[in-house]
Amino acid sequence: MKENYMCLKNMATTRKTFKPIVAWMGYSDGMWSFTKDAYKLKYVEDAGGENVDDSINKITYNVSNPDDLDAFHGILCTVEVIIDETFTIDPTVYNMSTFLELINIQDQSCLSFLSTQSIWRFDKRFLNSTTLDWLDGAMSQTGIERHHIHIY
């Protein structure tokens, strides 16, 4: 597993092309939050991406607060890839429409992650339609092939 990871990391490191800006984010109780988990941020860097700007002075954004919502939408306009880790009891009903409803943005023209279909989730494979493979699978292997990250 480590050898596979390092091979992919080295391939990404040698690429001198565009580095997409990536945001790990999730929704809970009316709040969107951006992760600061070091290992997730490292995954992005190792895959050849760039994490959402560290100068963001807030990690959570309340969708009921107009100022928070405006700031949140401003950040989304700078992001090329979203990894949506919103927890849901039934992953089979959480889809693109659900995501768009939760981000609550009227003008979606600035959202490049929509036009490139770069919204990812990590709950593609289910057991009994509700158990996430990410949490309940056997030994995990870093990378898309094991975590079953997918686009809506």
- pTM exceeds 0.95 for this model: no
CATH of the domain at 80: 3.40.50.1980
Whether 25 contacts 85, CB under 8 Å: yes
The pLDDT-based confidence of 143 (bands split at 50, 70, 90) is very low
Mean pLDDT of the chain: 80
- Any residues with CB less than 8 A from the CB of 150 and at least 6 apart, and which? 120, 121, 124
Question: What total number of domains does the chain contain?
Answer: 1
Run of H or E including 127: strand 126-127
> What is the three-class DSSP state of 16?
coil
Give the pLDDT score at 72: 94
Neighbours of 22 (CB within 10 A): 25
Chain centre to alpha carbon of residue 1 = 23
Whether 23 contacts 80, CB under 8 Å: no
Task: Identify the domain containing residue 23 by its residue range.
Answer: 2-151
Q: At what angle do helices 66-76 and 96-103 cross, to 10 degrees?
A: 130
Report the percent of the chain where pLDDT is more than 90: 39
Report the percent of the chain where pLDDT is more than 70: 75
The pLDDT-based confidence of 3 (bands split at 50, 70, 90) is confident
Q: Which residue has the higher pLDDT, 10 or 95?
A: 95
Strands (E) in 29-116, as ranges, are: 31-34, 50-51, 60-62, 81-84
pLDDT in tens, 58-78: 889 999 999 999 999 999 999
**Over residues 8-17, mean pLDDT:** 70
**Over residues 125-129, mean pLDDT:** 53
Cα–Cα nearest to 62, from 77, 51, 73, 53: 73
pLDDT of 125 higher than 80:
no
The pLDDT-based confidence of 8 (bands split at 50, 70, 90) is confident
Return the structure tokens found at 79: 């992001």
- The whole-angstrom separation of Cα 18 and Cα 50 is 10
